[in-house]
């Protein structure tokens, strides 16, 4: 039977304005960094997307290199779009990025106009789309003039291949410059995607102020610090966990006895709030009005439903914030 989205999909989720733009994003967005490659079970990936949309998660975040193999997440998502979402494209926000290694040779990486335009053309082919809603430069390029990279984003928006431009992984100073260049070009930067969680606080070193002062939205990725901010590691390292199996982005050196003690103390605060630790970690990001949406990942549909519970309690008392800060220090 063909997929029919829930008629109640917009009833229980909040949408937040993305900076000063006209765009609103759901408080939680679905990232397709993991679990959507050719190596993953297609029906499971499909069910995750259905579950997200059925619950008002309208924003799906990709990049050219997501998989594995690179490019396959876009292809899988494109397949799901065209089999199940015909007639719903205008209810979806689809974003992709370019900035990491995607193909061999000097034009398959970083931030040249050549690379960014070519990469988006490839992404649109893989997803079988005419345009994406948001196109990001995925990381700053130390060797290409920022003016060239931003001119590429401006060109892409003017060509109609993306509706909005964004940046990712830029620090406060880099972001300020990029935002100013895009503003002068007439294609405002509407969103920034930084790594941000209770354990990774870099955006607080000026970046959030830059975004707030310039009316640019913020959408943190890795909000659960690759799973550390969950109850998964309260009693050591489970054999099937990302720490035990992947070792690339997260390995045992990240999980010191001190870190486990911190996680336990945060878990106690979460329980006092009537939340799981993962829910509190998502809520904690959303308490800042400069944060538009938080990117969640999911390896099965139930995890999407579980993350949505974080939206039931995004208010923190001063005492709770002080207790959390005391633990994190």
Q: How many residues does the chain have?
A: 329
Helix, strand, coil in percent for the chain, rounding step 5: 45, 15, 45
Could you tell me the sign of the dihedral formed by the alpha carbons of 165, 130, 301, 259, in that order?
Answer: negative
Evaluate if pTM is beyond 0.85. yes
Give kind and range of the element (H or E) at residue 167.
strand 162-168
Whole-angstrom Cα distance, residue 85 to residue 94?
13
- Residue 188 has which token pair? 């405002």
- Residue 110 has which token pair? 């970083």
3-state SS assignment for residue 218: strand
Is the distance from CB of 68 to CB of 39 less than 8 angstroms? yes
Instruction: Report phi then psi at 180, rounded to 5.
Output: -65, -40
Largest CA distance in the chain: 54
Q: Which pLDDT score is estimated for 255?
A: 85
Summary count for the chain: helices (H), strands (E): 11, 10
Domains belonging to the chain, first-starting first, are 15-231+287-315 (3.20.20.100)
In 200-309, alpha helices (H): 207-214, 242-245, 257-272, 277-286, 301-308
Range 30-40 burial, b when 16+ CB lie within 10 A, else e: bbbbbbbbeeb
Whole-angstrom Cα distance, residue 275 to residue 324?
14
Whole-angstrom Cα distance, residue 297 to residue 28?
10
Q: Which pLDDT score is estimated for 235?
A: 83
Closest CA to 96 of 144, 153, 134: 134
Instruction: Report phi then psi at 110, rounded to 5.
Output: 75, -120
Q: Which pLDDT score is estimated for 254?
A: 76
Residues 6+ apart with CB under 8 A from 159: none
Show pLDDT as tens, one digit a residue, over the chain (329 residues): 689 999 999 999 999 999 999 999 999 999 999 999 999 999 999 999 999 999 999 999 999 999 999 999 999 999 999 999 999 999 999 999 999 999 999 999 999 999 999 999 999 999 999 999 999 999 999 999 999 999 999 999 999 999 999 999 999 999 999 999 999 999 999 999 999 999 999 999 999 999 999 999 999 999 999 999 999 988 877 777 666 655 556 667 778 889 999 999 999 999 999 999 999 999 999 999 999 999 999 999 999 999 999 999 999 999 999 999 999 99
Whole-angstrom Cα distance, residue 77 to residue 42?
10
Closest CA to 164 of 183, 139, 191: 191
3-state SS assignment for residue 85: coil
Q: Which pLDDT score is estimated for 176?
A: 98
Q: Which pLDDT score is estimated for 244?
A: 60
């Amino acid at each position: 039977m063909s997929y029919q989205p829930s008629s109640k999909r917009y009833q229980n989720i909040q949408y937040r304005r993305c900076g000063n733009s006209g765009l609103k994003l759901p408080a939680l967005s679905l990232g397709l960094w993991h679990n959507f490659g050719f190596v993953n079970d297609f029906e499971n990936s499909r069910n995750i997307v259905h579950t997200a949309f059925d619950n008002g998660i309208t924003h799906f975040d990709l990049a050219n290199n997501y998989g594995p193999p690179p490019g396959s997440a876009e292809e899988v998502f494109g397949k799901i779009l065209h089999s199940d979402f015909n007639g719903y494209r205008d209810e979806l926000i689809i974003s992709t990025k370019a900035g990491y290694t995607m193909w061999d040779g000097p034009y398959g990486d970083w931030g040249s106009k050549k690379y960014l335009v070519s990469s988006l053309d490839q992404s649109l082919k893989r997803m079988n789309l005419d345009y994406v809603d948001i196109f990001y430069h995925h990381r700053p390029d130390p060797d290409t003039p920022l003016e060239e990279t931003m001119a590429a984003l401006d060109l892409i928006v003017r060509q109609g291949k993306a509706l909005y431009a964004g940046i990712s992984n830029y620090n406060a100073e880099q972001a300020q410059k990029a935002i100013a260049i895009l503003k002068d070009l007439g294609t405002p930067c509407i969103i920034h995607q930084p790594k941000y969680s209770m354990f990774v606080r870099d955006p607080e070193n000026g970046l959030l102020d830059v975004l707030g002062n310039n009316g640019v939205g913020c959408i943190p990725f890795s909000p659960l610090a690759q799973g550390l901010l969950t109850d998964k590691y309260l009693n050591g390292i489970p054999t099937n966990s990302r720490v035990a199996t992947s070792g690339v982005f997260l390995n045992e050196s990240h999980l010191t006895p001190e870190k486990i003690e911190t996680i336990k103390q945060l878990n106690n605060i979460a329980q006092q709030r009537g939340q799981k630790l993962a829910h509190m970690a998502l809520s904690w990001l959303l308490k800042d009005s400069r944060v538009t949406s938080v990117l969640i990942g999911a390896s099965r549909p139930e995890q999407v439903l579980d993350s949505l519970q974080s939206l039931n309690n995004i208010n923190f008392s001063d005492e709770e914030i002080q207790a959390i800060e005391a633990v994190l220090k």
